[in-house]
Structure 1
Amino acid sequence: MTAAPRLLFAGTPEFAVPSAQAVLDSGYPLTAVYTQPDRPAGRGRQPRASPVKAWALAAGIPVYQPATLRDPAVQAELAVLAPDLLIVAAYGLILPPAVLAIPQLGCVNVHASLLPRWRGAAPIQRALLAGDAESGVCIMRMEAGLDTGPVFSRTCYPIISGMTGGELHDRLAVVGAETLRTVLPDLLADRLTPEPQDDADATYATKLDKSEAELDWNRPALELERQVLAFNPWPVAQTRLDGQTLRIWRARAEVESTEALPGTVLREASHGIVIATGSGILRLTEVQLPGGRPQPVAAFLNAHRLTGRRLGA
């Protein structure tokens, strides 16, 4: 392309901000940014701008916040911007075929998984829950299907033992931005041939639900560890203690045989509260009671004793 390309960016949460910044850092101005409408947040439930909107306003970039892209008027407004390429990262709205067809070079997505594994809304957490050894980021051409488009570039990232969903999220946000910056010149020059996905290998990362946060102590300790790590920082794994919700922010599975009923607190020390499970033990290392803050168990045990009690009952 000879003239400066006209680029649009669509994204909403914190994950998308590094990718948006990567476009500017590569020397390409953004014509406009699309993000979801402001949502009520905080105790006062006041409308709050998305992280991408806050970033765009600080950068002096026009912001559009349609509730849907299916509205013909919204599509016409987007078409007037005459984009060469639309870059998407965790936008959260469906791009209908009419929108996908507007940019001259199409639409590309920064997706936090190694497609075709974990198409869908929560690839980071689903990878942790499944015990995947690695995750990564794909830059893919968007199609009408859910994350079904061919892949321009992929970057693998190993999942380190003990890594939480939040930590993997933050790392992949950076990896995604780096990958986008690397391929953007070739994308704009239309020099890349994307690799089709094998639909037979596809898995789906369904949206997280708060109901998944409850720990079932009859399950193996390793599965419970994955649940705790994947759901940090949201929705946060939890169990019941004396009619209260005990949130568990960090834990690790260990191999140890016990005849105690699952959920029984076997022992406690400054380095962990040890719980019997369906197979092995789970050592809780960071917990939280209602009205309090997450704290290491050493601090928690200054005011609580749990040995011999049963969680989740």
Structure 2
Amino acid sequence: MTRAIFAGTPEFAATALAAMLNAGITVPLVLTRPDRPAGRGMKLQASPVKQLAQVQGIPVAQPRSLRLDGKFPEDAAAARQTLLDAKADVVVVAAYGLILPQWVLDLPCQGCLNIHASLLPRWRGAAPIHRAIEAGDAETGITIMQMDAGLDTGAMLLIERQPIAAADTTATLHDKLAALGGRMIVQALQHAGPLPATPQPGDGITYAHKIEKAEAQIDWTQDAAQIERRLRAFDPFPGGLTQLDGEPIKVWRAELAEGSGAPGTVLAAGETGVLVACGQGALRLTELQRAGGKRLPAAAFLQARPLAGGERLA
């Protein structure tokens, strides 16, 4: 029976680990990032993967680095011995957050398999779900990849497509792809014999750069469709940010609408939303949030902060 070390950190990875355990795959060790401060009290919080592993009684290792010649060589050396002791056939990686050096890639006899949330080679990198929505892609998917030393450059073993719905946010698409990735990694691990490996094509390569908090700022001179996609791509993080009379306002949901005017101008405001002119077209903002407040439907937001035609969002 296959013994698979699992390396992952966020909820996306925890979904895959749960699928593997439910399928009866033996997981002798879990690797995840060190606990990080979170919440108002900034208390150390275990990753979703660590929490699941602890419930299942699986040993957990949390090295700060896996590079034997890096900043934390003692962590890497201890992790190396732990991985050797686990006597695994394969390492499964899903949104782990640490680069695997060559010694890790070479350690298991079946190598390292990565669950990547895109149709490679499109959207290699850190934020494939966000960038696919932002770009207006009609579909995305999951690629099970044989890892090599490059950034998401390894041969493809399994690929399945997932349509991107018009209302999909990163949150909703994340959950669809997490479930798909869990099913596919189980399929890969249970396959009799090695899966056929297809090298990635040399054309169609794009990079999904990490989402920065500064990207939340809404540029009202952009087309309405472009802004609407960015709002869905940046939900739940970092959201869309604008200013109203110097007050920061988060915009979470919007829909394309008819209207024109100077970009950022409020054309109308009512129960159905706040109509705002963009560089081309207009958006009806339907869910907003004041600083320190909750996400609210537009009607509830306007009760606390009325808006009138002619006001400007900066």
1:55 aligned onto 2:52 = yes
**How much identity, in percent, do the aligned residues show?**
49
The DSSP-based 3-state class of the residue aligned with 1:23 is: helix
Letter in 2 for 1:232: D
| Aligned counterparts of 1:262 and 1:38: Cα–Cα separation in 2 | 43
Shift of 1:257: 4.4
Letter in 2 for 1:205: A
Letter in 1 for 2:109: Q
Q: Deviations over 1:198-242 (max 9, x none)?
A: 132210000000111100000000000011110010011110111
| Aligned counterparts of 2:245 and 2:153: Cα–Cα separation in 1 | 47
Moved over 4 A (4+): none
Instruction: Name the counterpart of 2:72.
Output: none
Shift of 1:185: 1.0
Shift of 1:129: 0.6
The aligned runs of 1:143-162 (5 Å cut-off) are 143-162=148-167
Letter in 2 for 1:114: L
Q: Deviations over 1:15-46 (max 9, x none)?
A: 11111011112211210100000001111111
1:139 aligned onto 2:141 = no
| Aligned counterparts of 1:137 and 1:102: Cα–Cα separation in 2 | 25
Letter in 2 for 1:37: P
Say if 1:34 and 1:64, in contact at 8 Å, map to a contact too. Answer: yes
Instruction: Name the counterpart of 1:41.
Output: 38
Say if 2:133 and 2:233, in contact at 8 Å, map to a contact too. Answer: yes
Say if 1:162 and 1:252, in contact at 8 Å, map to a contact too. Answer: no
What RMSD over aligned residues (CA atoms) do the two structures have, in Å?
A: 1.1
Aligned pair partner of 2:213 in 210, 213, 216: 210
> Which stretch has the larger CA shift, 67-76 or 133-142?
67-76
Aligned residues: 305
Instruction: Name the counterpart of 2:312.
Output: 310
Instruction: Name the counterpart of 1:9.
Output: 6
Say if 1:113 and 1:123, in contact at 8 Å, map to a contact too. Answer: yes
Say if 1:105 and 1:190, in contact at 8 Å, map to a contact too. Answer: no
Gaps of 5+ in 1: none
The aligned runs of 1:152-191 (5 Å cut-off) are 152-186=157-191, 189-191=192-194
Say if 2:139 and 2:164, in contact at 8 Å, map to a contact too. Answer: yes
Q: Deviations over 1:121-153 (max 9, x none)?
A: 000000011000011111110110000001111
Question: So what's the TM-score if we normalise by structure 1?
Answer: 0.95
| Aligned counterparts of 1:94 and 1:132: Cα–Cα separation in 2 | 28
The DSSP-based 3-state class of the residue aligned with 2:81 is: helix
The DSSP-based 3-state class of the residue aligned with 1:126 is: helix
Q: Deviations over 1:265-302 (max 9, x none)?
A: 00012111100000000110100001110000011111
The DSSP-based 3-state class of the residue aligned with 1:47 is: strand
Gaps of 5+ in 2: 69-75
Instruction: Name the counterpart of 1:230.
Output: 233
Aligned pair partner of 1:125 in 123, 130, 133: 130
Say if 1:152 and 1:192, in contact at 8 Å, map to a contact too. Answer: yes
Instruction: Name the counterpart of 1:18.
Output: 15
Say if 2:2 and 2:189, in contact at 8 Å, map to a contact too. Answer: no
Shift of 1:100: 0.3
